[in-house]
A and B are shown apart, each in its own frame.
Chain A
């Protein structure tokens, strides 16, 4: 078996790569569903209806897509520069912490100012969480994968401490949760009946902003060059350390904003488990989108649909909702292979 590089990749191949990855993932998941004893057709219908079958379903999907769009962007930016930021989960919580710290009464402003303010400090919080791993990598060449991962656990424990102790809401009857974000800071929902909120707009705008930056600015140029060919980038005068630092701040910032969106929009207050792995899902989202910021929008919507649909499929057909996590992770792995196939031809000896 040999891998031969392709001279050029036709556009249809690039577009079909994620589609094929999804298809393979669906086939495997179908197998799992059958093994679980559920009828395939019924399951598929339940999934689709749960994801897009009613206005409520659609809004739920949009709500679910919001944080993973942001963490997906975070992963996309970082991975573009080959900076393996696996700590989006922790950075997300840092953003939520920042919003809770200043958004529960310490600072009061008009909503038009308060909301951007919360996002700003959330982004700073998320970026700060990446500072240590970046410095360790640049100065000591310590692998950022493990440091960002371990930091996730540390940050989560720290959140637990705060929620059990100094930040516990006295009105919460003993539940470990923080005080709610003040009214001025809450992200308005689309309507009283639906949960989708302003965060979605922020996520969409962020995707466009990231896309613009990567494509049209010098920063984006440098990030892409460093990711493709660090030696050539350095020769052209690009500072690798500065670029990686910038990437980390942007990536962490985006993940932090996801935390703000959840705490100020979806949930209203910070709790232990308010992220069921959004940070990690973001990685799958980014990979499926081939690290393209606009593709992340579609990828996030798709994956959110899977999660939301699986919830309702789970209730209707008694299939564990983990099927969604399986599907998402498998799609990510398959995407790796289909991406490779767009660049290499597989020749059997």
Chain B
């Protein structure tokens, strides 16, 4: 069986699938990374992704265009981030409980809104999602053409976002302030910058990305919205942030690595006989995520101010 798996891995289709599976994870992981770098654990990610999936899709279904849907999803995500930040950053409430509550709320709300707008559907209605765009010239390359250069625009967007996030985080004063907010907020306050605003902005930006990640599922990967769509991808993203040691470059690597296993698992199901039932393949992503967290627990450099609310007037 190992040979068959190895053969699988060298097909272009496998790599193309890896990239497709990685895209929403990249959005979600980067989004969570931004929040956590600024010191806020955003456990609303699963709900925000689900809601983004519904929101983007619904925009298109109601007659809007695809990119409008993406922007709409990002906007809605930012609103959810604002709510999260209101609770956790401004009121200093438990980040854990707020996040879980938001996930429950956003998930339920997305289902409710969907049902109200589309009451009679036994089979989920579809939209016309993003289509693959073949990059002229490059997409004719053997192997690489199919693997890398025939994807939907949203997929390309996911990969473009990575260097953008890296640039903003590491090369701009705003990014510096955001990272400081997660390491030593007192230092920021000492420079006269408002820690609460920085953190709120970071959570909003991160949530916007998460929401786009959710929208990817309904607008690029598939074409319909159904409940439980996210399948725990949000939680996997949280684990991936730890695995990536809070670095965007490693987050990309982690997402690809993970997606690779997932793609492999899908294909390996062909071999699932009585020996290994398909459920165990499906379990792999979650097991891997837990392993990733265990592995990184020893070495990860956690942002020092993660989970600590900042109350103005807290002096050294």
Chain A residues in contact with chain B, CB under 8 A? Answer: 1-3, 32, 35-37, 79, 84, 86, 136, 140-143, 145-147, 149-154, 157-158, 160-161, 164-165, 280, 283-284, 287, 318-320, 322-323, 325-326, 328-330, 332-333, 336-337, 340
- Interface contact A328-B115, CB-CB below 8 Å: no
Give the chain B neighbours of A283 by CB distance below 8 A: 97, 100, 104
Residue of B112, B231, B289 most packed against chain A (CB within 10 A): B112
- Interface contact B293-A333, CB-CB below 8 Å: no
Say if the beta carbon of B294 comes within 8 Å of chain A: yes
Residue of A84, A143, A330 most packed against chain B (CB within 10 A): A143
CA distance A37 to B112 in the complex (A): 13
Give the chain B neighbours of A164 by CB distance below 8 A: 277, 279
- Interface contact A86-B100, CB-CB below 8 Å: yes
From residue A287, how far is it (CB to closest CB) to chain B in Å?
6
Given A147-B293, A287-B97: A35 touches B279 (CB 8 Å cut-off) = no
- Interface contact A322-B287, CB-CB below 8 Å: no
- Interface contact B287-A154, CB-CB below 8 Å: yes
Say if the beta carbon of B92 comes within 8 Å of chain A: yes
Other than the known A146-B293, A152-B232, what 15 A-B pairs have Cβ atoms closer than 8 Å?
A142-B294, A146-B239, A157-B283, A158-B283, A283-B100, A319-B116, A320-B115, A325-B107, A325-B108, A328-B104, A332-B101, A332-B104, A332-B105, A336-B94, A336-B101
30 A-B contacts (beta carbon < 8 Å): A1-B90, A84-B96, A136-B294, A141-B297, A143-B242, A145-B100, A146-B239, A146-B289, A150-B239, A157-B282, A157-B283, A160-B279, A161-B277, A164-B277, A165-B277, A280-B104, A287-B97, A326-B109, A326-B112, A329-B105, A330-B105, A332-B105, A333-B87, A333-B98, A336-B93, A336-B94, A336-B97, A336-B101, A340-B91, A340-B92
- Interface contact B279-A337, CB-CB below 8 Å: no
- Interface contact A147-B87, CB-CB below 8 Å: no
CA distance A283 to B311 in the complex (A): 27
Cβ-neighbour of B279 out of A32, A86, A157 (below 8 A): A157
Chain B residue nearest in CB terms to A32: B112
- Interface contact B98-A336, CB-CB below 8 Å: yes
Residues B264-289 near A (CB distance < 8 A): 277, 279-280, 282-283, 286-287, 289
- Interface contact A158-B290, CB-CB below 8 Å: no
Give the chain B neighbours of A146 by CB distance below 8 A: 235, 238-239, 242, 289-290, 293
Say if the beta carbon of B212 comes within 8 Å of chain A: no
Say if the beta carbon of B43 comes within 8 Å of chain A: yes
CA distance A93 to B283 in the complex (A): 16
Give the chain A neighbours of B105 by CB distance below 8 A: 326, 329-330, 332-333
CA distance A142 to B291 in the complex (A): 11
Give the chain A neighbours of B173 by CB distance below 8 A: none
- Interface contact B294-A140, CB-CB below 8 Å: yes
From residue A60, how far is it (CB to closest CB) to chain B in Å?
21
- Interface contact A150-B282, CB-CB below 8 Å: no
Chain A residue nearest in CB terms to B302: A141
Say if the beta carbon of B298 comes within 8 Å of chain A: yes
CA distance A3 to B96 in the complex (A): 20
- Interface contact B282-A329, CB-CB below 8 Å: no
- Interface contact A287-B108, CB-CB below 8 Å: no
Residues B65-116 near A (CB distance < 8 A): 87, 90-94, 96-98, 100-102, 104-105, 107-109, 111-112, 115-116
Chain A residue nearest in CB terms to B227: A322
CA distance A242 to B94 in the complex (A): 24
CA distance A9 to B93 in the complex (A): 18
Residues B15-33 near A (CB distance < 8 A): none
Give the chain B neighbours of A157 by CB distance below 8 A: 279-280, 282-283, 286
CA distance A35 to B112 in the complex (A): 11
Given A141-B297, A161-B279: A153 touches B91 (CB 8 Å cut-off) = no
- Interface contact B43-A145, CB-CB below 8 Å: yes
